[in-house]
Every structure is written in structure tokens, then in C-alpha cells.
Amino acid sequence: MNQKINHMFCIKERGSTIQKEITGGATTFMTLAYIVFVQPVVLSAAGMDFGAVMNATCIGSAIACFIMGFAANYPIALAPAMGHNFYFVFTIVIGMGISWRVALAATFAAGVLFLIISIIGVRQKIMDSLPASLMNAISCGIGLMIALIGLKWSGIIVEHKGTLVGLGDLSSLPVLLALFGFGVISVLLVKKVPGAILIGMFAAAIFGLIFGIVEYQGIVSYPPSISPTAFKLDLKGLFSTDMLVVVAVLLFLDVFDTIGTLVGIAPEAGLIKNGKVSVSNNALLADAGGTVVGSLLGTSTITCYVESAVGIQCGARTGLAPIVTGILLLLTPFFYPLVKMFGGGVPGFGSMMLYPVTAPALIIVGVMMMKSSARIAWEQPAEAIPAFLTIIMMPLTVSITDGIAFGLISYSCLAVVCGNKAPWPLHVCAALMLLRYIFLV
């Protein structure tokens, strides 16, 4: 059996082992498990059934992970995109007064269009047009954004009226637990212990149980029904000018969030060939297919997850890792109380929820992804300025798309004004980004 698995996923050829793949897939699951709890909370604000959304999220994400694993053989997991879900609820449903059924139909349409442009190779051309400086800057920016979220979820930093953010209460038990988990992971990484991130998270969870920070909530429960949202799309509601714009925006966001994620984790995932991000069409189809399936079941846009970097840091290099993640996602509805105990939040400061078990892993990933900054040509202003804007805007806006936009627009403008050469797809993408800010923001 081991020989068959090794042969199927080319595990040895990529310098990995079955154990590393399983550890990486499980670690990725632990760091993206929060979406299982966040997604139904967000979409229920649009009137959708909480339990059905949770189930749709797990099933849709698992199917997308299986496509990525079996068809593309890449160590990248997929799940509903943060930011897209808020656009779904607060812009489309609440802001425009559109039914969530029509919003699901718009997500479905965007997914189908995404499949088409992936098949004809447009997205690969966009990725090939990215300069090396921007590609490495995207990786750094994503790392800083992940670290920022980890620092906030740990309670190490909090909102501050005067300075936007400030230091949290370091004597708080959840913060101390997060610092403990961060310390354990750091020591294990220095000692080169395999699965350091996953071991550190479990250590934090155990200590959280002992000190009453993590609440024991049981082991298993019956999974909720998916019928309240499954196949409830209202395709007839798409035939209006407003909805055509909505579909275009959903497609636009999905394309660039996916590009940003793939480019950001490409160096660690081994997807760089001849200085360019090399991604097979099967990988490009995975998140597009995930969005189509997810919208049919009752959840918002599914895309490649930056949290896959955690599993990659654990040694995952093949599609076996997302398959492990997908299997755990399918099991999640049956073990909801147990998963909530490890991946759920605990009361923090005011109304803020903290995630002291998973937050340390995000901070560590931020540290590791910063090494891409060494490959940016900082001595060349034409490369350094767009790279810096890309890096700084991602964590400050908590948006991969906005970071890419500022980088592309500034790179294109500097190239045009200074007479430097740049690929024409880059100028086209920059123009589209600029139009988005002019007309849609």
C-alpha cells in the first residue's frame, strides 16, 4: 500500500514521506478549521441556515481538496475565502437587498466563468506576466497578513484608538497560552523536529484544557442537514445589470485572490520553474470547481488557502496532503464539539474572540514567508516601490487583492512614465484594478 501511495503521488521524488504528507495535511486542517465556524456565522447574517452552511462548507471544501490532490498533486488545500463571504453577505444581500439564493447563483456563475478562463489558460498568462519582485513581495505580504491575524487572534496585539493597534494584556491566560504555543513551536523548529507546528498546537490545546482556557465540549454529534441551502440557487435573478456587475466582481476577486495565494506559497510548494510560477491546469481548475460545487451546496467562493503554507512548512509536497485535509473536513460535522474545542475561539477583550491554539502557527508561518524579501531587488526603485506597496498593503488592509492591486498599478505607472518595459498583461491587469477602485470602491 505504501508503495502504491508513493507511486501515485510521487512522494519520494519530491523529497517527502507519507508521514510528512499526513502531518502537513492535518496541520493545514487545524489552521483552516476556523472557517468551519466563521463561515456559518457570517452567512447566517444573510438568512441562511447555520448548520447547513457548516455542512456545505465542509463538503464543498473537501471536494475541492480532492480535486487538487488527485488531479494536480499539489499540497494546497481549499476552503471558502475570507472577504468573499463578507462581500456575499454585506454587499450583495444586505447592501443591495438581494436574496441569498440569487447571491449563490452569482457565485455559481462566477465559478463557471472561472473554469472557462482556467481551461483556456488566461490565468497562467497573468501569473507569467508577474515580475519576480512582485512575486516575492506577494509572498512576503501574505506572510505579514497571516502573522497579523495570528497576533490578533492570540491577543498579543489589540485595537487601539490612538495608534490603530497596540499591545494586549500579556497577563491574560489566553495570551499566555498563545505565547506558550508559539514558544513550543519555535523551539521544536530550531531543533528541526518533524511536525513541530502540529505538535505545538496540540501542546497548547492540552494546556488549555488543564487551565480551563479551552473548554471540553464533548466528542461527537449528528451532522446538521444540508437541505436548507443545497441546490437553492435562483438563477433567474441573475438577469439584470446589477447582477452582471456582481458576477464580474466575484470573478475578479476570485482570480486575483487565487493568483496571490498560488504565487505566495509557490516557492515553498516547489511550483517555481525557470523563475516563473508553474501551475498545471488541473490546479487552476480545482478552486474554480470548488466554487461551483460550494455554491450548489450553499456556501460562498471556495479558493486556495494561504494556510496551506503551514502544512508545506511541515514537509508536505504532494497532493496527499490536501486529500488528508479533505478527509478531515468530511469528518468535521460528526466531530463538531471536539473540533470546536481545539479550533474554536475563547472570550478575549470586550467582544473580541481569541484563538490561542491556532494563532501561534499563523505567526510562525509569517516568519517563514518573510525570507522571500531577500530576493527582491531593493536597490532598484522601479522594483522596490511596487514591492513595498504590495507587502505593506496586504496586512494593513487584510486583503491579498488590495496588496496586489497597489503593486500592479504602481509597477505599471512607473514603467509607462519612465519608459521601462513590462509585459502587456501586467498593464491590462493594472488598468482593471484601477477601474475597480474608480467605479466599485
Domain end, chosen from 295, 328, 345, is at 345
Is the Cα torsion angle 414, 138, 142, 330 positive or negative in sign? positive
Q: Are residues 225 and 111 in the same domain?
A: yes
Q: Are residues 220 and 97 in the same domain?
A: yes
Within-domain flag for 289: yes
Q: Are residues 264 and 339 in the same domain?
A: yes
pTM value > 0.85: no
Tens-digit pLDDT profile for residues 85-107: 877 887 789 888 899 999 999 99
Within-domain flag for 367: no
Q: Are residues 264 and 393 in the same domain?
A: no
Tally of domains in the chain: 2
Within-domain flag for 193: no
Q: Is 397 in contact with 191 (CB distance < 8 Å)?
A: no
Q: Are residues 432 and 303 in the same domain?
A: no
Within-domain flag for 206: no
Q: Are residues 231 and 104 in the same domain?
A: yes
Q: Are residues 240 and 105 in the same domain?
A: yes
In order, the DSSP letters of 321-380 are HHHHHHHHHHHGGGGHHHHHHHHS-EE-STT-EE-TTTHHHHHHHHHHHGGGGGGS-TT-
Residue with cell 500500500: 1
Query: In the prediction, which pLDDT does 321 show?
Result: 94
Using DSSP's 3-state secondary structure scheme, residue 51 falls into: helix
Residue with cell 489552521: 31
Domain end, chosen from 345, 365, 385, is at 345
Query: In the prediction, which pLDDT does 338 show?
Result: 74
Task: For the chain, give the mean pLDDT.
Answer: 85
The C-alpha angle 56, 362, 110, rounded to 5 degrees, equals 35
Residues 6+ apart with CB under 8 A from 304: 68, 76, 77, 78, 258, 261, 262, 286, 287
Domain end, chosen from 345, 367, 387, is at 345
Residue with cell 491554539: 357
Within-domain flag for 267: yes
Q: Are residues 282 and 383 in the same domain?
A: no
Within-domain flag for 254: yes
Within-domain flag for 263: yes
Query: In the prediction, which pLDDT does 293 show?
Result: 95
Tens-digit pLDDT profile for residues 307-363: 888 888 888 889 999 999 999 999 999 987 776 676 666 777 666 778 888 888 888
Q: How much of the chain exceeds pLDDT 70, in percent?
A: 93
Q: Are residues 332 and 397 in the same domain?
A: no
Domain span at residue 401 reads 377-439
With left for phi above 0 and alpha for psi between -120 and 50, is residue 128 left, alpha or beta?
Answer: alpha
Q: Where are the alpha helices (DSSP H) in 163-277?
A: 173-190, 196-210, 241-269
Residues 6+ apart with CB under 8 A from 90: 45
Of 306, 304, 313, 319, the C-alpha closest to 264 is: 306
Q: Are residues 118 and 243 in the same domain?
A: yes
Within-domain flag for 365: no
Mean pLDDT by 10 residues, the chain (441 residues): 84 88 90 82 87 93 95 91 80 87 95 86 69 84 85 88 86 93 93 79 88 84 92 89 80 76 73 66 83 95 87 88 95 81 68 80 85 89 95 85 87 93 86 80 54
Q: Are residues 98 and 235 in the same domain?
A: yes
Bridge partners of 302, per DSSP, are 80
**HSE of 270, CA atoms in CB hemisphere, 13 A:** 15
Q: Are residues 11 and 99 in the same domain?
A: yes
